Structure 1
């Protein structure tokens, strides 16, 4: 799994370097795909992690996914000059980060 994640990371770096005008969905798809690779280790996580830790981990992944979809599609088009899809993407990323922090704080610490 680690090899696959690093391979996708290197591919993503090459895309950013050599295909500067790549559609946004290309990088968003790579990010989301890399994140959802964890589904392959979901059963061991279920067996070894407390339900509350699994809840925070899953909720964070879902929030990151929603944020990635918003980023990739550039939607919804919010009609505010100071708040748009990009700011909404960041809110979802922050919420996902908070969930993963909570998982680490309660489960790992």
Structure 2
């Protein structure tokens, strides 16, 4: 079964504070495209260490948006990058595409 982003964690974290939820989503909507752009640049340069750093940053958003399986894939991908291996790149990037679509609709 495919995992779907959701706001469950944000709702729980906010304890009903809608302003907090809105602000957190605004930050994610602003930061995620920038982080993905940096990630893609480092991938294209073949810079494994910096790519791993951006996977780590993006991974926090996976967790915040309820992607537990995606979070595990991202962490495994980050560790692969530190071994100079792009294994799991396609899986990670599929999750990124799903997440980008999601944040445009919330």
Tell me whether the two structures share a fold, i.e. TM-score over 0.5.
no
TM range (shorter): 0.3 to 0.5
Give TM-score scaled by structure 1 length. 0.41
Give TM-score scaled by structure 2 length. 0.41
